[in-house]
Chains A and B, each alone.
Chain A
Amino acid sequence: EAQVTQNPRYLITVTGKKLTVTCSQNMNHEYMSWYRQDPGLGLRQIYYSMNVEVTDKGDVPEGYKVSRKEKRNFPLILESPSPNQTSLYFCASSLAFSGTGGPPLHFGNGTRLTVT
């Protein structure tokens, strides 16, 4: 089954303790992206990757890192989490990104992170 898999689904951690949220897709997609969803703000892009070893900042990259060593995986790393990073995180992928409405984004089921 074609899917984007995120782990874990729920995570509670403390300020400053490094964590990684994994994202894997099995559709051979070139484009991958991370979004965070906050009430009243919709989804905002954190980082994206056009292909292996190619990553770039989105709208809210501060406090996050990513890597794209393999096509299928795009982990999100919080080196020193803070309470303002408490949010619902989504990984998404697409065959390619097209501004003209090309292949759709496929989303994972989300990771709810709480930083205390």
Chain B
Amino acid sequence: GNSVTQMEGPVTLSEEAFLTINCTYTATGYPSLFWYVQYPGEGLQLLLKATKADDKGSNKGFEATYRKETTSFHLEKGSVQVSDSAVYFCALSDAGRRALTFGSGTRLQVQP
């Protein structure tokens, strides 16, 4: 079946540092890929998505590129802020199961 693997956290960075959170997936067919963000005490919010190979999703300074050859969708940001501290989930769509398959989440802590 489909699966998503994320790097374990927590990831601790200083403000203005460069961020990479790795995500790889296993899927049949050509799923769409997503990054969701969960701030403390809240539900998940869509951060960005990509629907086909080589697409780049971007939002709020975050970017991720759908790499079919490496089955990856790594999240990057050039300069993190304290307000980016949250848990980040990589996910893929599974039309057959009418569900998103989520990774285990990566907690990001940004220190001033």
Contact = CB atoms under 8 A, between A and B. Distances in A.
Interface stretch (B11-19, B38-46, B73-81): B38-46
Contacts of A100: 32, 51, 93, 95
Nearest to A97: B98
Interface in A59-116: 59, 90, 92, 97-101, 104-110
B99 A101 contact: no
A58 B1 CA distance: 13
Contact of A42 (B32, B34, B46, B105): B105
Interface residues of B, number: 27
A42 B89 contact: yes
Interface in B32-83: 32-34, 41-46, 49-51
A42 B102 contact: yes
Contacts of B50: 101
A18 B63 CA distance: 44
Contacts of B33: 101
Interface of B: 4, 31-34, 41-46, 49-51, 89, 93-100, 102-105
